[in-house]
Chains A and B, each alone.
Chain A
């Protein structure tokens, strides 16, 4: 694990172009609950360019998964979504459900967190892998079967031809996640959304899955949104990163800038909390307290109650705007302490 937490050179850099695969603009998600409406995501904006890897980082409940589900029309029925989401040339938020459905699976593939539950237990894996291609590309069942073998080979499943008719329970967790990745890539989408795809796996398998996705991305040129709470992963694979806390982005920018000059106290605390082999034997650093309930967010910066810095009293009562601090690097705090 320690290697993973070291800075690694990003696998590829893309020329910064104006074209985006997915752009999210001022997205807000309000979920109706028994205790009244809860704002799970507030005014979030980010873009992913072709072939780029964008990492969305945050603790559980920070709104990172909800951001993606809402952006692609998969939010629960009780959720109200406002803002604009653009996928390639389509304004997703303006489309009727059925048009949006046709883009999902075709241009965006999803890999979810737990491969033990995200595959249908009673359908053969081959069938599940190519369902989207049958739906969107009109593949026949026969062609789909060949395609399934091809995709399973692509994600490194040994003797794929003999395993297309196997069921999910006949695969290990890591292999299931490979199946899930094959499934997401069935229509060669422009964007792959990976929602904590390694969280449920053991450490060696995690590394394999991360490498697999990076490798596929290089071969297929797919853009990737990687949702994670593991900063080691972010350092290794992402081009840009957004850190979320309490439903808002608190810091965002090129991965080098954010890691070299983290500015928001939360980002700094997260980076400091990574296990460091040079401090072996010392206590691990933790952020005291727990994330705020979305039912009861503080008036100012959501991190204020846990903030170890508290250098600028305005942060307590006033919501700091996202302010640029460097090239493409923005941060939501009034605090401008010494970098690093």
Chain B
């Protein structure tokens, strides 16, 4: 197990370096000159050249990349073109907001999708199954920003139960954090729940027809035991991947939702950085998202090996 984990960590590190290269090169292809944007109306050729030189932008690309990578390894991701603050500080500052939104949304989605997906499969063709189908169809086809707006109108506007937008850190005031996170988390979580419900339903349905489930029934086990011990454990294996992909993509920041709810997370930061052509911040944000993605995948691989005994052997 330890060797398996070590191997996966090393693989992740290699991928991460690859990501830095791709991000670096992609930004070279983007039109627009960041130094010009930074100077705005104060543009004059001397300042322009000086700034370019200070940022190292007059160097050849490989040199720029090597210097970027070298600094990145020591945690120095450069400074924002716009504010002059260190990028690593800016990015990490936004992490808790995104993390708390993503985790809350996924927990909400799991709480909805698991019972619904399992019951829909076990009682396939029943009213619950049809309701689950309508729910997931609704969830995947209605755009999340529209649901967000409707949520704000209803719960903040008409009912006045929840604040329409804004963010309070969990560590500052858990109660107010909860009321603020509820709307964006449910909005994002509904989409995730719809996808998961479908997936769990089909996965459980498939396992239900497996030979070993008939074996379990032939042993005279209680229905609950058959479902929980034999069906669910097996059905969970493919579901874990989907949950992980969903979580990872939410960690990347749900840009539209973060902008809509004035949620100061990574998505919002990415949005602002793109608009301002603040390349160092954009690079930092993308790098962080990639790192989170790899981390989630690493955890999933470990979880996989725990769920399915056949995996470590291969």
Contacts and interface: CB of A to CB of B under 8 A. Distances in A.
Contact of B212 (A102, A109, A120): A120
B241 to A, nearest CB: 16
A220 B100 CA distance: 61
Given A120-B230, A135-B219, A169 B313 contact: yes
Interface of A: 72, 74, 101-106, 109-110, 112, 114, 117-123, 131-132, 135-136, 167, 169-170, 180, 183, 186
B76 interface: no
Given A117-B211, A122-B309, A169-B309, A105 B218 contact: yes
Nearest to B237: A122
A104 B219 contact: yes
| Nearest 7 pairs of A and B residues by beta carbon | A105-B220, A104-B220, A110-B218, A105-B219, A117-B211, A132-B219, A120-B212
A117 B211 CA distance: 6
Contacts of A132: 219-221
B307 to A, nearest CB: 7
Interface string B221-257: 1100100011001100100000000000000000000
A131 B216 contact: yes
A110 B212 CA distance: 12
Contact of A118 (B212, B220, B225, B307): B212
B222 A135 contact: yes
Nearest to B231: A120
A112 B309 contact: no
Nearest to A115: B211
A153 B222 CA distance: 27
A169 B310 contact: yes
Given A105-B218, A112-B211, A183-B219, A120 B310 contact: no
A183 B210 CA distance: 17
Interface string B286-309: 000000000000000000000111
27 contacts: A72-B218, A74-B217, A74-B218, A105-B219, A110-B215, A112-B211, A118-B212, A118-B214, A118-B215, A120-B212, A120-B233, A121-B234, A121-B309, A121-B310, A122-B233, A122-B234, A122-B309, A123-B229, A123-B233, A131-B221, A131-B225, A131-B229, A135-B221, A169-B310, A169-B313, A180-B215, A183-B219
Nearest to B221: A135
A118 B218 CA distance: 11
B308 to A, nearest CB: 6
Interface centre among B210, B212, B234 (most CB of A within 10 A): B212
Contacts of B215: 110, 112, 118-120, 180, 183
A72 B217 CA distance: 11
A121 B219 contact: no
A122 B308 contact: yes
Nearest to B234: A122
B212 A117 contact: yes
B303 to A, nearest CB: 13
